[in-house]
Amino acid sequence: MRLLALSLLFSAFCLITPAQNLPDKINGYKLHQADILVTRLPLSSAASEPDAVVSVASPKAAQIGLTGVSFEVSAEFLSKKESGKVDLVTFKDLSVNGLSLYVEEYAHPFEFKNGKPVSIPKPAKVSIRTTSIPRAALNELMNSPKELVVTGTAFVFARFKKFGFTFKRVVPVKIDLKFANPLRSL
């Protein structure tokens, strides 16, 4: 009877425990979940109390070529609980209104201190491949949306300082931003 009760309890626990679809470590950095707000608003206007806030500037056209269109995106970062150094930022499944974006690995390390805003040293480079441009143009002609919705995940590889020790952590950051469609005003 006890064995049946224990197995039922274990089964119930397994059913209500959410499955984690990320590994415990990525590139030698231990996975760390944090509440990070990604916004277009200035850092000072963040209403909620997340662990950190990232304020993303409007993209600026950088290059138009045979391989596609490139943009540069700057950002500011404010950590409210930790100090450390960002080593690398990678991006996964980044898209705008369902259209895949390519973002270069951001390999420009920078340090941050608890409660002090910092701008990233160089803008991130985002591009839309030439093969995606006809689909984007057709979508714009048929269904010109008022807003462009950017979604995806950034993985921030950083070293955090605590009690005189340094810990390597990777923090997944969900991106869900809305921009006014600049083509609607033309």
The hierarchical CATH code for the domain 23-185 is 2.60.40
**What is the C-alpha radius of gyration for the chain, rounded to an integer number of angstroms?**
20
Residue 50: per-residue pLDDT: 86
Residue 163: per-residue pLDDT: 80
Q: How confident is the model at residue 185 (pLDDT cuts 50, 70, 90)?
A: very low
Task: Judge whether 58 and 71 are in contact, CB under 8 Å.
Answer: no
With 60 as the cut, is the pLDDT of residue 35 above it?
yes
What would the mean pLDDT of 46-67 be, rounded to a whole number?
Answer: 78
3-state SS assignment for residue 141 = helix
Name every residue whose Cβ is closer than 8 Å to that of residue 28 and which is 6 or more positions away in sequence: 168
Residue 155: per-residue pLDDT: 95
Q: Any idea which residue has 């626990």 for tokens? A: 13
What would the mean pLDDT of 52-60 be, rounded to a whole number?
Answer: 87
φ, ψ for residue 140 (rounded to 5)?
-65, -40
- The one-letter code for the residue type at 103 is V
Residue 81 has which token pair? 């609980």
Q: How confident is the model at residue 181 (pLDDT cuts 50, 70, 90)?
A: low
Domain map of the chain by residue range?
23-185
Q: What percent of the chain has pLDDT over 90?
A: 31
Q: Which long-range contacts (CB under 8 A, 24 or more apart) does 50-59 make?
A: 50/80, 51/79, 51/80, 51/81, 51/82, 52/77, 52/78, 52/79, 52/80, 52/81, 52/82, 53/77, 53/78, 53/80, 54/78, 54/173, 56/177, 58/179, 59/126, 59/179
With 60 as the cut, is the pLDDT of residue 19 above it?
no
- The CA distances from residue 38 to 47, 75, 126, 158, in Å, are 12, 10, 17, 17
Residue 149: per-residue pLDDT: 84
Residue 143: per-residue pLDDT: 60
**pTM as predicted:** 0.76
Residue 87: per-residue pLDDT: 96
